[in-house]
Structure 1
Amino acid sequence: MYSQWRRRQRRAAAAAVLGTVLFLPFSAHAMSLTLTEAIDTALAANTALRITAEGERSADAALKQARGKNSISAEAGDTLRTSKAKDEDAQTSNSLSLSARLPLYSGGANEANIESGEIGAQSARLTTERAREDLKYEVITAYWDAVEASKKVEVQRDTVNKYDAHLKNVTALYDAGAQAKIDVLRSSVELSNARQELISAENSYEVNLTTLRNLLNIARTEPLTLTTEVTYQPFEKPMEDCISYAYRNRLDLTVERAKLRQRELAVESARAGKRPSVNLTLGTGLTSQFQPRHDTSSDVSASVGVSWNIFDSGVTRGAIEEAEAERDIALLNVKKEEESIDLNLRKAYLNMHEAEQRFTSTGDAVRQAREDYHIANERYRAGEGILLDIIDAQTALATAETNAISARYDYARYRAQVENLMGTELTESEHAAAEGLPAVTAEERAAAQAAYIEGGTDAAVKKVK
């Protein structure tokens, strides 16, 4: 009966090994990807970044509208009129008109709106650039997450192999009458638990790869081989210098300050409602009468009109107060952004140094844990140790190796976070890659329309029903 149990154990072990091989990423035809290549790929294809970049077009269009409202506008009209008065013949005429209008004075509203539009257009470009910096950080984090996960898969696979070899050793000793059956059972349980941890580690690796593919906007099933390894680079800049640098270089903070200026201009525009507006109008017209007689006349006119809102039941006052409140909110948002930068940078900086300390202290722990495992294993083979010594030594070794991996990649991620929070600029090559980000194409619009017609409409109708 025990020999049958052993055969079942061997079959289970073989199935587990085969399953591990089948579910591990097959790298024969995988795309090799360095961290630099990953960043460049994302900057040239990420959908979220494309959405942000489209905001530049929207801001430019708003600026065109603001400038147009302070320039010449022209209108043309054509009116066909027929009328009949009592005891008179019917009259039919056609009037053509052409007029041009030029604002001479708007109380400062048009000028404020134009300046606000210029600030908005510049802010949109800064927002896009900041989105690129954030995307770079996201890619770095996802890349290191995936590499770290692959390293932990190796640790778990090594643990499985050690427990498998140990089970074979214990079984041989049991067959020779040198060990109790309980050691065989406990070793089998530990092997099963290690396989569970390996399955979990492999899944984490695949999940992290999925996140990375999404950021790069590549085929979601594209096999990847990540080739960049973490290299330790000391970070020498003091925390306070990092914060000062961030206050000067964070583009999103610059955007918040620009929004404050826009809200100040909105107050000026609202106050213009209390001032008069002056417009120059030039016009010409041609009127042709058909009944009761044929006659044609033309005219040319020029006028300067002044309009002044004397009383509007507090509408203008309310608009001014609303604009002033929005201005103060923008001011507080600047203060809040500065506080967030300070807090987040301090946290990331402290976390980076904590990871650095862990990284520098884990090397000896791994070496000692390996030596401890070797001693425990040899003592057990010689009949001088107990099974618990091997289990504890293997657990300590796996923990030390996992901690070393976590510390190494935690430091790399926190360093990238500190640099991102400081507002570190993209490199020239990264800017060049970002220039390749495509705008929305006619083909994409047509495909979206077709998808709506073929699927979205039907789905909506079914939902209503």
Structure 2
Amino acid sequence: MGGANSVSNAFSNGISVNIPLYTGGLVEGQIDVAKLGKTNAQEEILRVEQATKYSAIQGYYGLLAYQELQGVYHEAVDNLQGHLDNVQAQYNVGTKAKVDVLSSDVSLANAKTTAITADNNVAVAESNLNNILGLPLETKLNLADHQLPFDTYNISLQEATDYAMKYRPEVLQAAIAVQEAERNIDIADAGNKPTVAITGGNDWADNTFPGIDANKRSWKVAAGVTYNFYDGGATKAKVNQAKQDLLVARETEQKTREAVQLEVKQAYLNIRSAAQKVEETQTVVDQARENYRIQNIRYQAGVGINLDVLDAQLSLNEAQVNHIQALYDYNVGIAKLEQVMGVDVESGVIHPSLTATTYRG
């Protein structure tokens, strides 16, 4: 008996399509979760933009405040230098004691040291603002404002809170998390339901490459229903876990809303407090400046003492610093309130309540 070996080639190609007709809510739920994820990402972008805007405003007013403080301390140097010259002149003619010259000279030296620190603070603040703006650190900035503004900002606490509850990114993200948790329950529960799908395919076969002989083509179309009668409790466990996740998401949402309300109230009260301080410190500055003028005149007339002049200058410095600090707190406080409210970055809203119905419409 004998045999023969044979060698043959076979090439085949095929295309198949599987279309789910019903998945028990699995695919639909996954699509909804994906859409919610996109919305959540958009809110995260807004949150970062708002935080960046606040940093820029804070840096801007910080530089402006340091520039004003620089002017205050250099003015003090000029005042004390003029006073020292006057004391020295009177000492030379024998009308003032040496101790007045010494104490005035010490005060001037301290003022110069403070002025040097103020110059350094301006340079650091300018570099900080450049860094926030993405500019080279050595860039020289020419600010549009020359002093801290004190513009009226009228908005009620209720308006600010309502606005934040509607537009603050963190509040919206917490609400989205609740919706995602609800969809995840439906996705998990899809394991308890059947799936229906239709399948179609087209195959080609040939003994020569590339194997697409039209005469050897076959078609197939099929429909099927799949149902898992028992999975060891895996689906039930997933549903229970999804329900627990929903409870956690709802609790987190409530805590987020309460935290945002607290932030809004704190920012609002800080603005009101800063506004009162601005008005009060302005009065104190005017009084301190007048007191310094009077003490200077009294000393030059020989009826005042040197210590009164030096104390008056210190009081004037303190009053001016407190006033600048109050103005800084007021302006940065407004920016902070708008951040915690979720005010649109690009609109430049001054009174957010006026545009609450159109923002992100």
TM-score by length of 2: 0.84
Which residue does the alignment assign to 1:273?
191
Q: Which amino acid aligns with 2:235?
A: T
Which residue does the alignment assign to 1:51?
none
Match of 2:253 among 334, 355, 360: 334
Give, in angstroms, the shift of residue 214 of structure 1.
Answer: 2.5
Which residue does the alignment assign to 1:221?
138
Which residue does the alignment assign to 1:7?
none
Q: Which amino acid aligns with 2:159?
A: D
Distance in structure 2 (CA, Å) of the matches to 1:424 and 1:99: 51
Give, in angstroms, the shift of residue 153 of structure 1.
Answer: 0.6
Deviations 1:137-176 (A, max 9, x none): 3322222121111111100111111222223233333333
Q: Which amino acid aligns with 1:305?
A: G
Give, in angstroms, the shift of residue 426 of structure 1.
Answer: 4.6
Distance in structure 1 (CA, Å) of the matches to 2:304 and 2:61: 40
Give, in angstroms, the shift of residue 348 of structure 1.
Answer: 1.1
Residue correspondence of structure 1 range 64-213 to structure 2 within 5 A:
89=6, 92-213=9-130
Distance in structure 1 (CA, Å) of the matches to 2:32 and 2:130: 41
Distance in structure 1 (CA, Å) of the matches to 2:324 and 2:122: 14
Match of 1:258 among 158, 176, 183: 176
Distance in structure 1 (CA, Å) of the matches to 2:348 and 2:155: 25
Which residue does the alignment assign to 2:300?
381
Q: Name the SS of the counterpart of 2:10 in structure 1.
A: strand
Distance change in 2, residues 1:326/1:214 (3 Å): farther
Match of 2:325 among 406, 410, 419: 406
Give, in angstroms, the shift of residue 342 of structure 1.
Answer: 1.0
Q: Which runs of 5+ in 2 are unaligned?
A: 350-361
Distance change in 2, residues 1:312/1:211 (3 Å): farther
Alpha carbons 2:264, 2:337 under 8 Å: kept: yes
Q: Name the SS of the counterpart of 1:278 in structure 2.
A: strand
Distance in structure 1 (CA, Å) of the matches to 2:13 and 2:144: 74
Distance change in 2, residues 1:301/1:191 (3 Å): same
Which residue does the alignment assign to 2:282?
363
Distance in structure 2 (CA, Å) of the matches to 1:165 and 1:321: 81
Of 366-375 and 302-311, deviating more is 302-311
Give, in angstroms, the shift of residue 352 of structure 1.
Answer: 0.9
Distance in structure 1 (CA, Å) of the matches to 2:62 and 2:247: 41
Distance in structure 1 (CA, Å) of the matches to 2:102 and 2:27: 85
Q: Name the SS of the counterpart of 2:76 in structure 1.
A: helix
Q: Tell me which of the two structures has the higher relative contact order, counting C-alpha pairs closer than 8 angstroms and 6 or more residues apart.
A: 2
Deviations 1:245-272 (A, max 9, x none): 3212324322321221112112211221
**Superposition RMSD on alpha carbons, in Å?**
2.7
Q: Name the SS of the counterpart of 1:224 in structure 2.
A: coil
- Percentage of matched positions with identical amino acids: 31
Distance in structure 2 (CA, Å) of the matches to 1:129 and 1:119: 15
Which residue does the alignment assign to 2:219?
300
Of 224-233 and 364-373, deviating more is 224-233
Q: Name the SS of the counterpart of 1:226 in structure 2.
A: coil
Distance in structure 2 (CA, Å) of the matches to 1:188 and 1:267: 79
Q: Which amino acid aligns with 1:300?
A: W
Distance in structure 1 (CA, Å) of the matches to 2:78 and 2:325: 22
Distance change in 2, residues 1:176/1:310 (3 Å): farther
TM-score by length of 1: 0.67
Distance in structure 1 (CA, Å) of the matches to 2:250 and 2:29: 18
